[in-house]
């Protein structure tokens, strides 16, 4: 069975006492009392499977981060507005709140999360809640609680209620002993950040729950994700977002990575489409549960050169953040995503020139780019 949680001292003693009939509903014992493949006899805890509904009912945790709002927009267009619920612990901006269902959800609050899944008859769960790489190194305890303890809550609830679960992984799941150019799906990982360690943990626990309990776990290792409508959130690859904002605003950018630091990257539209495609892929097409996906690979100096084609007077300088540089130097330079392309037809749309044009047109339509053109 999945783990038994949060036992009080008295409850533990009761469980160890022969012949004791412990009333779990009246104590602080929290357990999954049935196999995830079984249907509980209590109708209030029955979650309708995807095959029994016209559309999935989707919950997105960490929904106010870089990816959640965009994914919700795509899923609502496909499955209906009321079938996709965004959740977070932060207050949503007005345009997000009024765009579709939003609910408060703290992934560290097991009871609240379980109630949300049951009351809303959730069938798909997209778990975006996470503390990113640079922020995680500054606050290891927080990263451990959110990225590991929170994940355990998600896994147990998904297994208990037969959910299809998506948990993203990252280039940060690899380490300095991993092959870097290219990095295959299966190889030595051994990351040296709490973020990376927590993501390897998520990959392995998800695959374990799949093989042990039949959990429909799906995972993509995202490269650095670049989007125009979100601010950098503490990740090592965030320079590739910030550069467009600064270039459009004042024509200058100070980069915290070395000029030649090559990392795999992807435009957000490709990332969100890949997430939907792997979630919809028939199980028989999946030869594994964790896939690399990639679109392009570039360095700060290569990105700056492409920006300069659009904004001729753009200037880049370098002020190296040694913590972020050490993280980047331990990460893949390029992803081998052949399995994703072969198994379920993954194909990216945006290369570097298309990325730069799209980002600058979105961010700088009334700034230096407009004047340059």
Active site residues per annotation: 195
Residues written for the chain: 373
Distance CA 1, CA 35 (A): 6
The two tokens of residue 37 are: 């493949």
Identify the residue whose tokens are 């670049």.
Answer: 226
* Kind of pairing between the strands at 216-222 and 252-255: unpaired
Judging by beta carbons within 10 Å of its beta carbon (0-12, 13-18, 19+), is residue 282 exposed, middle or buried?
exposed
User: Residues 6 or more apart from 58 whose CB is under 8 A from it?
Assistant: 75, 79, 83, 84, 85, 122, 123, 124, 125, 126
**Residue 91 burial (CB count, 10 A):** 11
Distance CA 71, CA 348 (A): 17
First to last CA, the chain: 63
CB 171 within 8 A of CB 187: no
CB 116 within 8 A of CB 50: no
Give helix 300-310 / helix 352-363 axis angle, nearest 10°.
60
Across the chain, the runs of DSSP E, i.e. the strands, are 4-5, 30-31, 58-61, 84-88, 102-104, 124-127, 164-166, 169-170, 216-222, 224-226, 252-255, 263-267, 290-292, 296-298, 315-318
Is 300 in a helix, a strand, or coil? helix
β partners of residue 125? 59, 165
CB 336 within 8 A of CB 185: yes
């Amino acid at each position: 069975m999945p783990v038994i949680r949060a036992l009080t001292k008295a409850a533990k003693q009761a469980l160890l006492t022969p012949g004791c009939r412990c009333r779990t509903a009246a104590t602080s014992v929290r357990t999954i009392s049935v196999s995830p493949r079984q249907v509980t006899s209590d109708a209030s805890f029955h979650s309708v499977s995807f095959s029994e509904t016209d559309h999935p009912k989707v919950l997105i945790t960490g929904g106010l981060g870089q990816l959640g709002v965009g994914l919700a927009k795509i899923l609502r267009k496909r499955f209906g507005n009321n079938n996709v619920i965004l959740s977070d612990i932060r207050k949503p901006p007005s345009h997000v709140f009024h765009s579709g269902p939003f609910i408060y959800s703290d992934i560290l609050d097991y009871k609240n999360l379980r109630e949300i899944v049951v009351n809303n008859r959730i069938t798909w769960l997209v778990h975006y809640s996470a503390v990113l790489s640079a922020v995680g190194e500054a606050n290891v305890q927080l990263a451990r609680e959110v990225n590991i303890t929170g994940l355990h809550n998600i896994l147990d609830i998904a297994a208990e209620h037969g959910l299809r679960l998506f948990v993203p992984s990252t280039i940060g799941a690899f380490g300095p002993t991993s092959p870097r150019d290219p990095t295959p799906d299966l190889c030595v990982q051994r990351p040296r950040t709490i973020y990376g360690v927590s993501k390897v943990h998520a990959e392995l626990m998800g695959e374990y729950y799949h093989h042990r309990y039949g959990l429909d776990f799906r995972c993509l290792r995202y490269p650095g994700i670049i989007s125009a409508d979100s601010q950098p959130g503490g990740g090592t690859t965030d320079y590739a977002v910030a550069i467009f904002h600064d270039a459009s605003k004042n024509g200058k950018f100070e980069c915290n990575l070395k000029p030649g630091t090559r990392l795999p990257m992807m435009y957000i539209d490709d990332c969100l489409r890949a997430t939907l495609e792997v979630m919809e892929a028939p199980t028989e097409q999946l030869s594994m549960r964790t896939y690399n996906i990639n679109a392009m690979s570039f360095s700060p100096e290569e990105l700056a050169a492409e920006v300069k084609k659009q904004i001729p007077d753009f200037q880049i300088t370098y002020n190296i953040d040694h913590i972020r540089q050490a993280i980047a130097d331990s990460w893949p330079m390029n992803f081998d995503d052949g399995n994703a392309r072969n198994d379920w037809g993954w194909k990216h749309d945006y290369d570097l020139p298309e990325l730069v044009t799209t980002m600058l047109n979105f961010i700088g339509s009334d700034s230096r780019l407009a004047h340059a053109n």
